[in-house]
Amino acid sequence: MDNITYFATYTLMEPQGSKSYRHIYFICFFFIYSLILFMNSCLCVVIVLERALHQPMYIFLCNLCLNGMYGSTGFYPKFLHDLILDSYVIPSYMCAFQSFVIYSSIKCEYSTLAAMAYDRHVAICQPLDYHSKMNTYSCVMLLFICWTVPFISTLIALLLSNRLVLCKNHIDKLYCDNWSMVKLSCESTVTNNIYGLISISFNFCIFAVIIVSYVKLAIACKASLECRRKFWQTCVPHVISLVNFSVAMLFDTMYNRYGSSDFPDDLRNFLALEIIIVPPLLNPLIYGLNLKEVRNRVLKSCINILKKS
């Protein structure tokens, strides 16, 4: 322990071929980030301005879009800054902050998908009780839980990591995450490991509950053509988002903890970035295009803007 150094900065992984292609990378990632902000903000504005969309399902969708922009902002500005300067260094406090934003966003996405599953379950299986169960108070409480639980759980994980003394300062990833910082420690990380396993188990339980809920919904909808139509229109997009997000999160978690250095760098970086790139792009597309009410009002808003211009 005599050789311990206290690091003020971390170094991050350099993208492969960054010396030659960093300007191309910058243009591509800047375009993706701009597209994420544009699509998600458009959907949020339409939902806020259209009174007909002031319903729980669309409110949760708006929250999903806001969270997508929040999580993306934790990664893209810093990564674009690194590409411009060709310098992949981050102060320790900024590394902790980036980890907090990205992973609280990931947990918030999961919580929001769980709230949306509950909303669809009540709407389809208990339609007569829908307005009493999904009232304004219920929506506010669910949104409060969707943000506070991820914030608190992520903050606890970072506080547990902050107490560790580090022996290294290189994070073999394009962005900071909590477990990568924990792995740099030369102290015992048993507490961090136990807390991480509890968090993983909790997320797995949420996933299992959501899947069981949708299976019950699918069975309940078999008897009615109208219910089947409603299930395909409103529930299938949720399932697509959930499966895509869960697979990406499972890989990110498993590789961080048990991944081998023999794993191809390109594939590892793609799968690590998939959780940041795909959900914020996919969510507004599948909901905006699939939900008739949202699609019609988005088109109506675009036509009105074109007429005014």
Residue ranges of domains in the chain: 9-307
CATH number of 9-307: 1.20.1070.10
Helix axes 292-308, 265-290, angle to 10 degrees: 80
Of residues 70, 88, 75, the one with CA closest to residue 18: 88
Q: To which H or E segment does residue 173 belong?
A: none
pLDDT tens for each residue of 135-153: 889 999 999 999 999 999 9
pLDDT (0 to 100) of residue 77: 94
Q: What pLDDT score was predicted for residue 289?
A: 66
Burial class of 183 by CB neighbour count within 10 A (0 to 12, 13 to 18, 19+): middle
Is the confidence at residue 1, as pLDDT, over 60?
A: no
pLDDT digits (tens, 9 = 90+) for 2-30: 455 566 788 888 887 777 788 898 999 99
* Its pTM surpasses 0.95: no
